[in-house]
Amino acid sequence: MDRHLTADFAEACFLVDLSPVVRRRDIGEPGLRSLRRLALVVDAAVELARDPDAKLFLVADRSLRAGAREEFNDPADVRVLRDWVRRGLVEELEDADGRVLELCEMTGIPVITYDYYRDARVEFPFLQGNTDDFLQPTPGPDGTVRLMPLDMGVASDAQISRKSEETVLKKQGLLGPQRKPRSEVVRRNWRCPDARCTLYDTRKGSSVMLPRMRGGVPTCDLHSLELVDDGPRTATAQVKLMLDGACVARFTLEDGSTVRIGRRPGPNGIALHGLVPAERAARISRVHVELRVTGGVVRVEDVSSYGTRWRPTAGKTGPGPWRDLGTGARREFRGGDELELTEGVVLARSGRRFPTELAQEWQRRTPPSGGGSGAVTRMY
């Protein structure tokens, strides 16, 4: 197999995101990790390229080799990987995704992977709707593998937010079996024993960090101290204010709350005056929509004079058409749904389940001056 690997990506016919290939359990032999799966992919690449000397450039997460070594079917696989890294036949990084996508965008060399890279779509917009640059190994006859085009689809803002949050949870050791968040940790508040630390304290600052799990214990990233359980975390829902497709503000709403949003909705409401240009704010009602959060479910009611349009969570090919919400109508506002208050001004449900911004923190903010006409930065 070595003769098909190269340390120079300029020689490669294919880039390989190695970690998901080695872990894929529907090809090759049973077990959690196996280089036998890579051997099948190499054979499929040679067949697809119609070149008996086709070369592959491998990129891998460092955790593939340094993680649970006992998960490899053959202990010799770890030694082989170590040798490949030493010889430059595997480029090993803390996170391989960015390097794989950088090389693909720069060279046009197709990537063999199972990953849809939804958390990378802001940095690499070429992923959206891409049907040309990615190949997925699929089981063929008699235990062989075929490389089939992988349609990356169009990820919605909510999907990007959800995947980005999942990446953070994974980094903090907060993903359990089937990649589900460890609810016994993320649904609690935490406090560092060091009185000077405000990273996790909901009574100080405007946001909190997620704990890092070390040895099964929630631990402070800064002081390496075991965190103190500070009671249950109030359920929240997050709404984003989008201006011409860019996120200019986030609002985290507390479960059990009713919040009015509009140009100047009054006390305990979210004022958009100062966050959007004055000429657009003039086309937004003083109180435009009302959001009610109950048991994690958000419902929206149109109370405006100008009307509100709504569209549901974007599908694989992107968002569907706008529909009139209807004055006085109330409907569920799900993750990824969007409300258009006026042209280019949209409220979107975030895909985040555990926002770091504290609930109702927006009530303590001072709206920016200047009519919201400054530069904006896209956030997910």
Domains in the chain (CATH in brackets) are 2-149 (3.40.50.11980), 157-232 (no CATH), 236-364 (2.60.200.20)
CA distances for 170 relative to 174, 178, 204, 226, 281, angstroms:
6, 12, 26, 19, 40
Q: Is the pTM of this model over 0.75?
A: no
Residue 111 CA to residue 360 CA, distance in Å, equals 43
Residue 336 CA to residue 316 CA, distance in Å, equals 13
pLDDT of res. 355: 82
Residue range 34-81, pLDDT digits in tens: 999 999 999 999 999 999 999 999 999 998 887 667 788 888 999 999
Residue range 76-112, pLDDT digits in tens: 999 999 999 999 999 999 889 999 999 999 999 999 9
Residue 153 CA to residue 316 CA, distance in Å, equals 5
pLDDT of res. 373: 40
Q: Are strands 188-191 and 111-112 parallel, antiparallel or unpaired?
A: unpaired
DSSP bridge pairs for 301: 290, 330
Q: Tell me which residues of the chain have a pLDDT lower than 50.
A: 366-380
